[in-house]
Amino acid sequence: MIFLSTTKKNKKPYYRYSDFLRDRFGQKVYKLPIKLAGTCPNRDGTLAWGGCIFCGEEGGSFENLESGTIKDQLRENRERMGRRYKAKKFIAYFQNFTNTYLPLETFKANIQAVLEEDIVGINISTRPDCLPEAYLDFLGQLTKDYMVTLELGLQSTKDETLRRINRGHDLAAFIDAVLRAHQHGIRVCAHMILDLPWDSLEDAISSARILSALRVEEVKLHNLYLVKGTPMEALYKAGKIQLLSKADYQERVISFLEHLDPKIVVARIVGRAPEAEVTHANWDNSWWKIHDEINEIMVSSNRLQGGLFNKEFSMLRKDD
């Protein structure tokens, strides 16, 4: 059972990813991002063109190395991040685009290239509608020796919002993906953008309840930023959408966390992007300041992850 603390000694109003990794592995573990050439079915015309309306050409990541083989990227990132964060064990993170949209043999080769001695986990960024059984079968076999996590882009649990942002799938596809991944022993991390213009505070709360009911293992929250040249930026410049204030975003995060199962790991509560590539990001604040403010609000007001978690869920899981 996860116990969250807001004492002065241990101010942890939600279950942080870093704490989860220490709980699981007994030491510091850090993610090593890997960048591959790829695309998505809503970029190449299979489902749609252009991708999600908020997504730039990097396919969802600004932090990857620009080039190099998988092993080269692992080595360079291991040296850099291992030294900086004093980590000796790592998670290989295939971060950008839809990694399971690659041919099966290519996908297998990519994964096998990271199975090195100090790698304890594999995280794979993908879409919920791009998970054929053969890929899940392969990943399921790896769960005996590695922590395997699918990072599924969902962003919103409202089908109308998913249509507006050109996701190319609905909530049902995400539910199906979670259920099938769990059948293979694979963890699921749900990516959510809580301040999309077509969603409300009530939608954020509903999303927390849905993800809790599905028993996803992890959530990664992201605030909306406007990448230059994207359709989302064009909508904003044309006055067709409005952006939430920082305070409203923070309230959505806190309310989401209050209704989230306290056993679910929280990988992130705010995003970050390079200033040169965005029109709007983090209300001209540093990401860590917004992060710290959310923590301070939760601690000072005693608003904890799971504080309003549905009692029916709690009763169903009391023996977990």
pLDDT at 49 over 70: yes
Which residues are registered as beta bridge partners of 151?
Answer: 125, 189
pLDDT of residue 195: 96
pLDDT of residue 97: 79
Closest Cα partner for 167 from 55, 52, 57, 58? 52
d(CA 110, CA 131): 16
Task: Taking residues 5-34, report their average pLDDT.
Answer: 86
State the average pLDDT for the chain: 90
pLDDT cut 90: percent of the chain above it: 75
d(CA 237, CA 231): 10
Closest Cα partner for 73 from 83, 62, 81, 65? 65
pLDDT at 60 over 60: no
The helix (run of H) or strand (run of E) holding residue 123 is: strand 119-126
The helix (run of H) or strand (run of E) holding residue 150 is: strand 147-155
Count CB atoms within 10 A of the CB of residue 122. Answer: 23
Count CB atoms within 10 A of the CB of residue 139. Answer: 24
How many helical (H) and strand (E) elements, i.e. helices and strands, does the chain have? 11, 11
pLDDT at 1 over 80: no
pLDDT of residue 44: 78
pLDDT of residue 59: 46
3-state secondary structure of 26: coil
The answer to whether the CB of 220 falls within 8 A of the CB of 189 is yes
246-277: pLDDT as tens digits: 999 999 999 999 999 999 999 999 998 877 88
d(CA 266, CA 166): 26
181-229: pLDDT as tens digits: 999 999 999 999 999 999 999 999 999 999 999 999 999 999 999 999 9
d(CA 166, CA 222): 18
d(CA 4, CA 262): 8
279-307: pLDDT as tens digits: 988 998 999 999 999 999 999 999 999 99
Which of the four pLDDT bands, split at 50, 70 and 90, describes residue 81?
Answer: confident
- List the structure tokens of 61: 């990541």
Burial of 230 (0-12, 13-18, 19+ CB in 10 A): buried
120-174: pLDDT as tens digits: 999 999 999 999 999 999 999 999 999 999 999 999 999 999 999 999 999 999 9
Residue 108 φ then ψ, to 5°: -60, -45
CA distances from 92 to 35, 81, 103, 130 (A): 11, 12, 20, 20
* Residues belonging to the chain: 320
Listed in sequence order, the residues at least 6 apart from 200 whose beta carbon sits closer than 8 Å to its beta carbon are none
The helix (run of H) or strand (run of E) holding residue 280 is: strand 278-280
